[in-house]
Amino acid sequence: MNLRDLCPKHSLSRAVTALSSPTEFWENKPPSWVGTDPCGGWEGVECSNSRVTSKKLSSMNLKGSLTEAIGRLTELKTLDLSCNKGMGGRIPAEIGNLSKLQILSLVGCDFSGPIPQPLGDLKQLTFLALNLNRLSGNIPRTLGNLSNVNWLDIADNQIEGHIPISDEEGPGLDMLLKAEHFHFENNRLSGEVQAQLLSSKMILKHL
């Protein structure tokens, strides 16, 4: 699967609340993003009962960062910022507040710093793609709590250390029994791939 496959020419959105907008300082925003109501016809934004539920803004040449304000979008189910090389900075810990999030795709951006541990709080998440960024640090053990994840891709970053498995210290990726795809390549991982990671109870198709 190449970057072209991952980055189709479709549009999404980032939402804004009446007083504090996660997109306030973004550049190259779609011309339809006028005013302070993202449910008033903003391109790529989907809403239900005046609450933002989906933001799909792939390949829009957006520039900016995610701020802690993203954590206020508690009805959000899809967040796709893939293939916007101008989107970067750290992934805020507040993203862990999005308890209804099912799809998180930040493929091919310029995000850096660690993978936030609160990502493990997103129990509804089925698709997590953080590949092709500049993320560093270790794989958080908390990702082992993503019991519904089918796709986990952190390839092509600067991730270090080992792939965590569950033990007395906490959860590990061997707990992701619904995962069909584990993508870790082109990082700085070290140590052995322990047999426990590949449980016979898993439905893993690609590692």
CA distance 78 to 32: 20
Q: Over the stretch 7-45, which tens digit does the pLDDT of each residue have?
A: 544 333 333 343 236 777 889 988 998 887 888 888 888
CA distance 139 to 115: 7
Q: Over the stretch 116-132, which tens digit does the pLDDT of each residue have?
A: 999 999 999 999 999 99
CA distance 159 to 134: 8
Q: Over the stretch 43-100, which tens digit does the pLDDT of each residue have?
A: 888 999 989 999 999 999 999 999 999 999 999 999 999 999 999 999 999 999 999 9
| Model confidence, pTM | 0.88
CA distance 170 to 85: 34
CA distance 189 to 37: 43
Q: Which domains does the chain have, with CATH numbers?
A: 3-197 (3.80.10.10)
Question: Which is nearest to 159 in space by CA: 184, 129, 195?
Answer: 184
User: 112 to each of 60, 61, 130, 135, 158, how far by Cα in Å?
Assistant: 20, 18, 10, 4, 9
CA distance 126 to 51: 21
User: Is the distance from CB of 132 to CB of 156 less than 8 angstroms?
Assistant: yes
